[in-house]
Amino acid sequence: MRADARDNRARIMTAADEVFGQSPAASTDDVAKLAGVGIATVFRHFATKTELLEAVLTLRLERLRDRALQLAGSADPGAAFYEFFTQVVSESASKLAIAEALTASGVAAAGEEARAAGHGMREAFDGLLTAAQKAGAVRPDAHFPEVYALLIGSSRGATAARLDAETRDRMLALVYDGLKPPT
């Protein structure tokens, strides 16, 4: 029974990620249908729709944090930083959810868990940033808040404007030029 329940919970979260990622106004019923469970099952696992949304958000943020932590072990901190930045923005362009996750991560709202996940993700990104600065790949006078704002902005911009890959890359080239240390 435990196994079944855990399975269902996972299926629901996957479905929610998919559904809300495409249209944030989707109904809980859509999630249930995609997950192949009854709607009551969704509400058994997540007491309110908000709770479900937060769970999805938390998952997203944890994945981003994990990726950042992975890259933190890289031999080339500069490359690691820019690769993470690029990956996040690229995926956001097709996955609305990521851009929204980034946004929510810093905002007061969100439940306890999501806030913690956001904190963890930002810390991991901060780690990438600091290492890149130490390695001379990012200007040392850039502070975390504005760099994180730039990450959010680039993601949201790419998402909102449905940029094609080329334009997105050229936009990022401009951003990176602003981030690199002056010669």
Partner DNA sequence: TATGAATGAGGATTCATTCAT
Partner DNA sequence: TATGAATGAATCCTCATTCAT
Q: Which residues here bind DNA, judged by CB under 7 A?
A: 1-2, 4-5, 8, 27-29, 37-41, 43-45, 47-50
Residue ranges in 93-152 that form contacts with a second copy under rule CB under 8 A: 99, 102-103, 106-107, 142-143, 145-150, 152
Least distance from a second copy to the Cβ atom of residue 1, Å: 11
Q: Which is nearer to DNA, 27 or 94 (CB)?
A: 27
Judged by beta carbon, residue 51 or residue 83, the one nearer DNA is: 51
Rounded CA gap, 82 and 179, in Å? 10
Is residue 179 at the binding interface for a second copy, with CB under 8 A as the rule? yes
Q: Which is nearer to DNA, 19 or 89 (CB)?
A: 19
Asked whether 165 and 91 are in contact (CB, 8 A), the reply is: no
Residue 58 interaction partner, one of a second copy, DNA, none, beta carbon < 5-8 Å per kind: none
CA distance 135 to 78: 7
Torsion of CA 140, 144, 148, 151, to 10 degrees: 10
Q: How many CB atoms lie within 10 A of CB 93?
A: 21
Contact 19/31 with Cβ under 8 angstroms?
Answer: yes
- CB nearer DNA, residue 37 or residue 158: 37
User: Is-contact 15 34, C-beta < 8 A?
Assistant: yes
